[in-house]
Amino acid sequence: MRLLIVGTLGGQIGAASQIAIRRGAKVQQADTTESGLQLLRAGHGADLVMADIALDLESFINSLESERIHVPVIACGVGTDTQAAVRAIRAGAKEYLPLPPDAELIAAVLEAVVEETHAIVHKDPKTVELLRLADQVAPSEASILITGPSGTGKEMVSRYIHNKSKRKSGRFVAVNCAAIPENLLESELFGHEKGAFTGAVARRIGKFEEANGGTLLLDEISEMDPRLQAKLLRAIQEREIDRVGSSKPVKVDVRILATSNRVMDDEVARGNFREDLYFRLNVMNLRLPPLRERPQDIGVLADFFAKKYAKANGVAEREISAEALSQLLAHAWPGNVRELENTMHRAVLLASDNEIGPEAIMLSGSEGGPLHEAAASSTGGSGDSLVGQTVADVERGLIIDTLHHCIGNRTHAANILGISIRTLRNKLKLYGEQGFGVPQPGDAERPAP
């Protein structure tokens, strides 16, 4: 992992760096928040920032957000200044780490950041075959299109391919094409010069340059505007990009992986996706089947998530009962692995006995599940009583109930609903303006009717 240390950390910077290096981190250091920002703008990416609590962390974190530099910040400080720690957390820091550095504490922080080992938990023959194909094509330089329903693990497979490739020592850089507004995606991919547009306060290196020598994942590429697709095609063909606001092309050397939850042939036929770009990306296609089509993965994944969230929440590990496993195997899993992960996280929190029983398994849209209960409460238990409601009313109820089921997690809810995260955010903004209660991240309970 890549660690950026910002500040002097009260003279403890050397010790903190050495601990991180011994744990396998690649460490960079900047004395000030501005020099830290310059490193990140220049494409020297980081998986984690450890910043001195004595600095203006609020401005630093606000700059990261406004410039769309997505990296968690851990505040660090010498002594026990609890007020400074509280201010840092309120400013957006993910955690406070006291100094002098404790080796095990720093190791735990690093482990939490790189929690995903990118090992794919599986047992089903369909997944075994998929990974066999991935192993076969990973060492090549070919572009690979990874398709499948939302929540099946397309980004995990992308990272798996990178780690098996000749570029594994280079960077793996992912861009979610669905989560970035269309007018900003070009800058995100290709970078920009200072003053190229309102808000371009400094030169910013784009994801193509950041991934130079490594792998660039274009996640949910089917959401990309067709006008930008033409510029992407040129970048792939010519192996060069133009920063926004610059007339001087920049050579790049990246391997392209792309994912989509849509049927790409249909998108091409509708004119939503350029055929020539599709052929460039689809040198090899790996299709991830939905979870219901690989049932032998359900049990091992459920067990993996149960152990993971027991550890994360500081509770005892519990076995999954036979009855609970039967429930899991019988479910259709419209949200796929992400829905299963969310279900097991909830089950770990709800289980009260020595094992995870069926009463702790809350499944979307099934008897006894939160969505079923929500529908029953709003319709009197009968689909006939939907008559008289507008389509907008029913849609709003479904979206808000799904968001409650996902404990406020927008990404998970969008995947279950089968809509883009952008569409979901727009609808939630509208509901909030109309005075409806919109669940926030961490809201596990539905409000009383």
CATH assignment of the domain containing 364: 1.10.8.60
Q: Is residue 449 part of a domain?
A: no
Total domains in the chain come to 3
Beta-strand relationship, 284-287 and 319-320: unpaired
Q: What is the pLDDT of residue 268?
A: 96
Q: What is the pLDDT of residue 79?
A: 65
Listed range (102-106, 146-150, 292-296, 408-412) with the worst mean pLDDT: 102-106
**162 and 102, same domain (yes or no):** no
Q: What is the pLDDT of residue 365?
A: 58
Reported confidence tier of residue 67, pLDDT bands at 50, 70, 90: confident
**390 and 408, same domain (yes or no):** yes
Spatial neighbors of 439 by CB under 8 A, at least 6 apart, are: 400, 403, 404, 407, 408
Q: Count Cβ atoms below 10 Å from residue 96 Cβ, excluding itself.
A: 18
Q: What is the pLDDT of residue 270?
A: 93
**285 and 299, same domain (yes or no):** no
Check pLDDT > 80 for residue 417: no
**308 and 381, same domain (yes or no):** yes
Query: Helices marked H in 169-317 — which ranges?
Result: 182-190, 207-210, 226-238, 264-269, 275-281, 296-312
Q: What is the pLDDT of residue 65?
A: 84
Listed range (75-79, 102-106, 336-340, 360-364) with the worst mean pLDDT: 102-106
Q: Which residue, 191, 144, 177, is CA-closest to 43?
A: 191
DSSP labels for 306-324? HHHHHHHTT----EEPHHH
Contact (Cβ atoms closer than 8 angstroms) between residue 355 and residue 348: no
Tell me the sheet residues that pair with 394: none
**73 and 158, same domain (yes or no):** no
Q: What is the pLDDT of residue 237?
A: 95
Q: What is the pLDDT of residue 42?
A: 85
**131 and 268, same domain (yes or no):** yes
Q: Is residue 445 part of a domain?
A: no
**206 and 109, same domain (yes or no):** no
Q: Is residue 172 part of a domain?
A: yes
For residues 147 and 128, what is the distance between their CA atoms, to the nearest angstrom? 17
Check pLDDT > 50 for residue 171: yes
- CATH code at position 82: 3.40.50.2300
Reported confidence tier of residue 431, pLDDT bands at 50, 70, 90: confident
Mean pLDDT calculated for residue range 300-309: 93
**263 and 314, same domain (yes or no):** no
Q: Is residue 244 part of a domain?
A: yes
Spatial neighbors of 364 by CB under 8 A, at least 6 apart, are: 334, 335, 339, 370, 371, 402, 405, 416
Q: Which residue, 138, 130, 189, 183, is CA-closest to 159?
A: 138
Reported confidence tier of residue 323, pLDDT bands at 50, 70, 90: very high
Q: How many CA atoms lie within 13 A of 302 on its CB side?
A: 27
Check pLDDT > 60 for residue 116: no
Mean pLDDT calculated for residue range 389-397: 78
Contact (Cβ atoms closer than 8 angstroms) between residue 215 and residue 162: yes
**390 and 309, same domain (yes or no):** yes
Q: Is residue 380 part of a domain?
A: yes
Contact (Cβ atoms closer than 8 angstroms) between residue 326 and residue 299: no
Three-class secondary structure assignment of 234-249: HHHHHCEECCECCCCC
Mean pLDDT calculated for residue range 131-136: 95
Check pLDDT > 80 for residue 108: no
Q: What is the pLDDT of residue 406?
A: 76
Q: Is residue 118 part of a domain?
A: no
Reported confidence tier of residue 374, pLDDT bands at 50, 70, 90: very low
Contact (Cβ atoms closer than 8 angstroms) between residue 432 and residue 400: no
Tens of pLDDT along 225-260?
A: 999 999 999 999 999 999 999 989 999 999 999 999
DSSP category for residue 192: B
- Edge-to-edge order in the sheet of strand 26-30: 26-30, 2-6, 48-52, 73-78, 95-99
Reported confidence tier of residue 382, pLDDT bands at 50, 70, 90: very low
- CATH code at position 160: 3.40.50.300
Contact (Cβ atoms closer than 8 angstroms) between residue 201 and residue 194: yes
Q: What is the pLDDT of residue 49?
A: 92
For residues 98 and 79, what is the distance between their CA atoms, to the nearest angstrom? 7
Residue position matching structure tokens 């209660």: 437
Q: What is the pLDDT of residue 350?
A: 87
Average pLDDT value for the chain: 85
Residues of the domain holding 335: 294-433
Query: Which conformational region is residue 408 in: left (phi greater than 0), alpha (psi within -120 to 50 degrees), or beta?
Result: left
Spatial neighbors of 386 by CB under 8 A, at least 6 apart, are: 379, 394
Please tell me whether the peptide bond between 100 and the residue prior to it is cis, using omega within 30 degrees of 0: yes
Spatial neighbors of 205 by CB under 8 A, at least 6 apart, are: 41, 42, 43, 191
**Cα–Cα distances in Å, from 440 out to 208, 424, 445, 449?**
34, 13, 11, 18
At which of 289, 305, 330 does a domain end? 289
Contact (Cβ atoms closer than 8 angstroms) between residue 337 and residue 151: yes
Reported confidence tier of residue 115, pLDDT bands at 50, 70, 90: low
Q: What is the pTM of this model?
A: 0.67
Higher pLDDT residue, 224 or 395?
A: 224
Check pLDDT > 60 for residue 380: no
Q: What is the pLDDT of residue 379?
A: 42
At which of 272, 289, 306 does a domain end? 289
Contact (Cβ atoms closer than 8 angstroms) between residue 125 and residue 104: no
Q: Is residue 120 part of a domain?
A: no
Spatial neighbors of 430 by CB under 8 A, at least 6 apart, are: none
Residue position matching structure tokens 């507004």: 181
Tell me the sheet residues that pair with 355: 319
Reported confidence tier of residue 367, pLDDT bands at 50, 70, 90: very low
Q: Is residue 239 part of a domain?
A: yes
At which of 244, 260, 289 does a domain end? 289
Q: What is the pLDDT of residue 407?
A: 76
Check pLDDT > 60 for residue 308: yes
Structure tokens belonging to residue 351: 């289980």
Check pLDDT > 60 for residue 261: yes
**298 and 285, same domain (yes or no):** no
Q: What is the pLDDT of residue 448?
A: 40
**370 and 415, same domain (yes or no):** yes
**105 and 225, same domain (yes or no):** no
Check pLDDT > 50 for residue 370: no
